[in-house]
Amino acid sequence: MENLRGQLIENATLAEYSSWQVGGKADRLYKPADMNDLIHFIKQLPQQESLIFLGLGSNTLIRDGGIKGTVVITQGALKKLKSIDAVTLYAEAGVASPAFARFSARKNLTGAEFLAGIPGTIGGALAMNAGCEGSETWNIVKSVLTVNRQGEKKIRYPNEYEIAYRSVSVFADEFYLAAEFELKAGNKEKALSKIRSLLKYRADTQPTNEPNCGSVFRNPPGDYAARLIEACGLKGLTIGNASISHKHANFIINNGHASATDIEALIEKIAECVFHKFHIRLIPEVRIIGET
């Protein structure tokens, strides 16, 4: 490949790019210098090559067999964050969701505070319609900028997608580069206070100081996955070096040397136990990718 300004790594270990700290190797990993460099890279990538975008590697389980193809790391590269007008913000896909929340608050805007509780990037939040505290990412999206496998950019709007709880339809071989968000005029101190309260609640109720991916399962309609898992007596259940958190039943933690296989087995065990007891099929919120 020619005239790349980013870093291309062959046979790259992915565990260091995963919040669970697990995962095999990728054939290639690319850390672009910026958006233009990323597009230049994609244009040179063979069309048949598998391509996956990763931000902070949260909400993703990378299997031990790794990924056949190329992984692009957006965090640290797609990092532009700016105001468009009084109530509109622009953020590239690699911007951390909590950083976006704080930036919006300091601009005296409200509506994005919930993103402080999302342990990932804007790209990931868009891909899964991430949310908490009753708010969801796509509720504040004005438009998104995508790129396809030919390196062509396109602006898309929310009405082009099917958007649901923790779910967004996809256009084949399109990836999020950035988005514009429409917020409301607010008060900086109130917004920052709300963010501080949310972060304190997270720290008090979730194992934020241990390797995890955030919530493992979506909440079923009218109930909470954590309540169902706890009612099955599964808190603390361990497979290999992975455990269900004692602090929050919908979190799985890596106790130090867990494999992705340990974690996936625990995910399957939870789903099996909850279905057996409550006849409710829990749907994973976490994206599971790679080779077994």
Confidence at residue 257, expressed as pLDDT on a 0 to 100 scale: 94
The catalytic site residues sit at 166, 215, 285
Q: How far from 209 is each of 41, 162, 203, CA to CA, in Å?
A: 36, 35, 8
For residue 29, is it within any domain? yes
Pairing of strands 67-73, 25-31: parallel
Q: Taking Cα atoms as reference points, which of 259, 251, 242, 243 lies closest to residue 212? A: 251
Residues 179 and 86 grouped into a single domain: yes
Of the candidates 55, 73, 91, which is a domain's last residue?
73
Residues 138 and 250 grouped into a single domain: no
For residue 1, is it within any domain? no
Q: In whole angstroms, what is the distance from residue 89 CA to residue 99 CA?
A: 13
Contacts of 98 (CB under 8 A, 6+ apart): 115, 116, 117, 118, 119, 199
Residues 196 and 228 grouped into a single domain: no
Q: Taking Cα atoms as reference points, which of 155, 83, 97, 87 lies closest to residue 126? A: 97
Residues 17 and 34 grouped into a single domain: yes
Pseudo-torsion of CA 152, 156, 160, 162, nearest 10°? 90
The answer to whether the CB of 22 falls within 8 A of the CB of 61 is yes
Residues 164 and 216 grouped into a single domain: no
Q: How many domains are contained in the chain?
A: 3
The answer to whether the CB of 1 falls within 8 A of the CB of 8 is yes
Of the candidates 16, 42, 73, which is a domain's last residue?
73
Confidence at residue 87, expressed as pLDDT on a 0 to 100 scale: 98
pLDDT tens track for 206-234: 999 999 999 999 999 999 999 999 999 99
Q: Taking Cα atoms as reference points, which of 114, 119, 102 lies closest to residue 18? A: 119
Residues 119 and 193 grouped into a single domain: yes
What whole-number percentage of the chain has pLDDT above 70? 100
Q: In whole angstroms, what is the distance from residue 227 CA to residue 248 CA?
A: 9
Structure confidence at residue 1 as a pLDDT band (50, 70, 90): confident
Of the candidates 204, 238, 263, which is a domain's last residue?
204
Residues 188 and 217 grouped into a single domain: no
For residue 153, is it within any domain? yes
What CATH number did the domain enclosing 227 receive?
3.90.78.10
Residues 103 and 136 grouped into a single domain: yes
For residue 92, is it within any domain? yes
pLDDT tens track for 83-138: 999 999 999 999 999 999 999 999 999 999 999 999 999 999 999 999 998 999 99
Element holding 193 (H helix, E strand): helix 188-205
What CATH number did the domain enclosing 45 receive?
3.30.43.10
Q: In whole angstroms, what is the distance from residue 182 CA to residue 78 CA?
A: 20
Residue-range definition of the domain harbouring residue 251: 208-289
Residues 12 and 46 grouped into a single domain: yes
Confidence at residue 133, expressed as pLDDT on a 0 to 100 scale: 85
What CATH number did the domain enclosing 120 receive?
3.30.465.10
Look at residue 49 and tell me whether its pLDDT is greater than 90.
yes
Residues 115 and 227 grouped into a single domain: no
Residues 68 and 167 grouped into a single domain: no
Residues 85 and 189 grouped into a single domain: yes
